């Protein structure tokens, strides 16, 4: 795999961010997030799920990140092959999942690794940030709340959702955090890293 840090003018080690993107309607904010990370001097590597690719093409994220975009298909086509998830996890310093759907959050909480994104999460040993997004009823369901508590208990930073009009037209909690709020969380993670090892 070609790391973002190997590109001309790209940041070196210590500024590398994995951005996991799932198939939520708030995915357009993920494009803004990736663009913002690159603008601030971070080296984002995007990992998309199959559902995410139904909303936004890998080319869009490649243009925004100026770096690699990984998915289940690219993992098998690359020289990394079987170990693409290990390589991606070891080459990053911070991992962000945004948008983080109820489905992906449940997989992360249960340790299910049935796609590249969740496999990378299990292999990753740095700071992890998730930005949930879903319908208010799904967000408030006890199963979802339990999954969020379990992740937080393992050191994952769970960003709060916003209240407002959702994609379904209803009002309630479930709006994904704004890109600037996620960027601020990434900055905090690197600030903590400067004081000691990252833990996730």
What are the backbone angles phi and psi of residue 172, rounded to the nearest 5°?
Answer: 155, -175
How far apart CA 19 and CA 66 sit, in angstroms, is 13
Residue 40 token pair: 């601030």
Write out the catalytic residue numbers. 168
Share of the chain above pLDDT 70, in %: 80
Neighbours of 172 (CB within 10 A): 16
**Per-residue pLDDT at 155 exceeds 60:** yes
Q: Distance (Å, rounded) from C-alpha 15 to C-alpha 28?
A: 23
CATH class held by domain 27-172:
alpha beta
Rounded to two decimals, what is the model's pTM?
0.85
Give the other-Cβ count within 10 Å of 117's Cβ.
29
Which of 104, 131, 106 shows the shortest CA–CA distance to 30? 131
Sign, CA torsion 156/162/163/166: negative
- Tens of pLDDT along 30-67? 999 999 999 999 999 999 999 999 999 999 999 999 98
Are 179 and 32 within 8 A, CB to CB?
yes
pLDDT of 193: 81
> Is-contact 92 124, C-beta < 8 A?
yes
């Amino acid at each position: 795999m070609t790391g973002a840090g190997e590109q001309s003018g790209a940041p070196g080690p210590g500024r590398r961010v994995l951005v996991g993107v799932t198939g939520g309607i708030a995915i357009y904010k993920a494009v803004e997030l990736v663009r913002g990370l690159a603008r601030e001097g971070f080296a984002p590597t995007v990992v998309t799920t199959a559902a995410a690719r139904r909303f936004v093409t890998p080319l869009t994220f490649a243009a925004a990140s100026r770096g690699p975009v990984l998915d289940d298909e690219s993992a098998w086509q690359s020289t990394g092959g079987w170990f693409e998830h290990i390589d991606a996890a070891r080459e990053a310093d911070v991992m962000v999942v945004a948008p983080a759907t109820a489905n992906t959050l449940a997989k992360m909480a249960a340790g299910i690794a049935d796609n590249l994104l969740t496999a990378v999460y299990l292999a990753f040993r740095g700071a992890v940030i998730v930005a949930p997004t879903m319908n208010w009823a799904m967000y408030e369901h006890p199963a979802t709340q339990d999954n969020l508590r379990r992740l937080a208990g393992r050191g994952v930073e769970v960003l709060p959702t916003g209240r407002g009009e959702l994609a379904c037209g209803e009002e309630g909690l479930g709006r994904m955090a704004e890109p600037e709020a996620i960027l601020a969380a990434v900055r905090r993670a690197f600030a903590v890293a400067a004081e000691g090892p990252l833990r996730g």
